[in-house]
């Protein structure tokens, strides 16, 4: 049996999306900037997809700009807003467990003379409106806080956070790359000024993303070239990718509550079995205020890398955190941000579901985890010492309190 539970890294392009894209490779292939019939056909497809994206998040089509990915959208929103508003101030607020597309962009801005406040999150990964309000200063120009964390799945109180920024006259950007298709988003009702998304997280192809930019918000253009995307983002449009993005986001948001409910059923089933059947394990992220497809757990006394290799041998695809840092030997900055010690953070596992995952697959994965964790712990001297009870009490010095079996 093969099971794919790494949808947080990327999703497969589904058949309806692929079918919609197919004509735009060989049949309707014109450059959308060309004035002839081939170009006009292509332009109509681009604008239809722009309208689909806008409807999915409660925006206007003219507020949607296509990009190459979510990382580009994050960079454009943050750097573009910072440069465009430098006369007002050079202070930016974010959190300490954002995706690296945000954190590294902010670090670069610090090198350029900007000041960044990194708000801490609590043990569940939440930041509060009160924290944000206390951090805003007269020279604050931008707040950027992710909608849902890519590793532990915690969903932030974005409407409340955006309301604080709005009341203070500060731009609010959210990286919603992981949230699209999992959480209902209405940028107008939620007072979001800028929002980044990436198609490959909801069954569109890789290499296509978008930035929502509220009408009236000014960004400095970061790239130079042609006049595409209303003179804001030069470069010939990825026609087939844009078409796929439009169809995919329409499908992902058409019955978002029904899809989320199905994923929650599988997610909760997995979490219950893992917590009931495997000792010394911790659920990471908020227990309920989390993405419907996210399971992130830490197993004490084993390494996440070994766990992933053994799962792969059983045909199971998972991850130990963000796909963008999978080659790193350092523990996840997200898990450290919520207070996990290094030795616990190293034993983390992320299982990220989509609506196609079944209860049968969930049981296969948990059965495999029970077997693999027991096997790896049997080879661990630390676990052996712990079981022998070096301090005379099970769950004592060798285990963090969050992992102790109740």
3-state SS, one letter per residue, for the chain: CCEECECCCCCCCCHHHHHHHCHHHHCCCCCCCCCCHHHHHHHHHHHHHHHHHHHHHCCCHHHEEEECCHHHHHHHHHHHHHHHCCCCCCEEEEECCCCHHHHHHHHHHHHCCCEEEEECCCCCCCCCHHHHHHHCCCCEEEEECCCECCCCCEECCHHHHHHHHHHCCCEEEEECCCCCCCCCCCCCCCCCCEEEEEHHHCCCCCCCEEEEECCCCCCCCCCCCCCHHHHCCCCCCCHHHHHHHHHHHHHHHHCHHHHHHHHHHHHHHHHHHHHHHCCCEEECCCCCCECCCEEEEEECCCCHHHHHHHHHHCCEECECCCHHHCCCCCCCHHHHHCCCCHHHHCCEEEEECCCCCCHHHHHHHHHHHHHHHHHHHHCCHHHHHHHHCCCCCCCCCCCCHHHCCC
403 counts as catalytic? no
Q: Compute the distance between CA of residue 201 and CA of residue 212 in angstroms, rounded to an integer.
A: 17
Q: Compute the distance between CA of residue 67 and CA of residue 394 in angstroms, rounded to an integer.
A: 53
Contact 119, 127 (CB under 8 A): yes
Beta-bridge mates of residue 213: 194
Residue among 324, 354, 399, 400 flagged as catalytic: 324
Q: Compute the distance between CA of residue 197 and CA of residue 178 in angstroms, rounded to an integer.
A: 8
Tell me whether strands 171-175 and 194-198 are parallel, antiparallel or unpaired: parallel
Residue 115 burial class via C-beta count within 10 angstroms: exposed 0-12, middle 13-18, buried 19 and up? middle
Name the nearest CA neighbour of 348 among 318, 324, 315: 318
Q: Compute the distance between CA of residue 25 and CA of residue 262 in angstroms, rounded to an integer.
A: 34
Q: What residues are labeled active site?
A: 324
């Amino acid at each position: 049996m093969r099971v794919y539970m790494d949808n947080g890294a990327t999703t497969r392009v589904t058949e309806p999306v692929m079918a919609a894209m197919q004509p735009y490779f060989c049949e309707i292939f014109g450059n959308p900037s060309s004035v002839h019939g081939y170009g006009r056909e292509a332009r109509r497809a681009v604008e239809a997809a722009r309208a689909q994206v806008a409807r999915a998040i409660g925006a206007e089509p003219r507020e949607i700009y296509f990009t190459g990915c979510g990382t580009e959208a994050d960079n454009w929103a943050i750097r573009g807003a910072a440069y465009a508003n430098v006369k007002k101030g050079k202070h930016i607020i974010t959190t300490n467990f954002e995706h690296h597309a945000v954190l590294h962009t902010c670090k670069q801005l610090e090198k350029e003379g900007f000041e960044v406040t990194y708000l801490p999150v609590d043990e569940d990964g939440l930041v509060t409106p009160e924290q944000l309000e206390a951090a805003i200063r007269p020279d604050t120009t931008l707040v950027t806080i992710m909608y849902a964390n890519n590793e532990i799945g915690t969903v932030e109180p974005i409407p409340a956070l955006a309301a604080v920024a709005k009341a203070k006259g500060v731009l609010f950007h959210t990286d919603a790359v992981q949230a699209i298709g999992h959480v209902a988003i209405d940028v107008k009702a939620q007072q979001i000024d800028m929002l980044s998304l990436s198609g490959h997280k909801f069954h569109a192809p890789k290499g296509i993303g978008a930035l929502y930019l509220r009408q009236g918000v000014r960004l400095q253009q970061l790239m130079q070239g042609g006049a595409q995307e209303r003179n804001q983002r030069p470069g010939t449009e990825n026609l087939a990718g844009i078409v796929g993005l439009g169809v995919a986001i329409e499908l992902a948001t058409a019955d978002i509550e029904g899809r989320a409910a199905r994923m929650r059923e599988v997610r909760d089933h997995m979490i219950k079995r893992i917590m009931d059947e495997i000792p010394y394990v911790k659920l990471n992220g908020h227990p309920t205020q989390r993405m419907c497809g996210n399971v992130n757990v830490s197993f004490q006394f084993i390494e996440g890398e070994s766990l992933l290799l053994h799962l792969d041998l059983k045909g199971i695809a998972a991850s130990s955190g963000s796909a963008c840092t999978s080659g790193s030997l350092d523990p996840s900055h997200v898990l450290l941000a919520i207070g996990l010690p290094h030795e616990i953070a190293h034993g983390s596992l992320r299982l990220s579901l989509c609506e196609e995952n079944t209860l049968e697959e969930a049981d296969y994965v948990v059965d495999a985890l029970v077997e693999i964790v027991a096997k790896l712990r049997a080879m661990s001297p630390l676990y052996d010492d712990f079981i022998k009870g070096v301090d005379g009490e099970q769950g004592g010095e060798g285990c963090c309190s969050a992992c102790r079996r109740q």
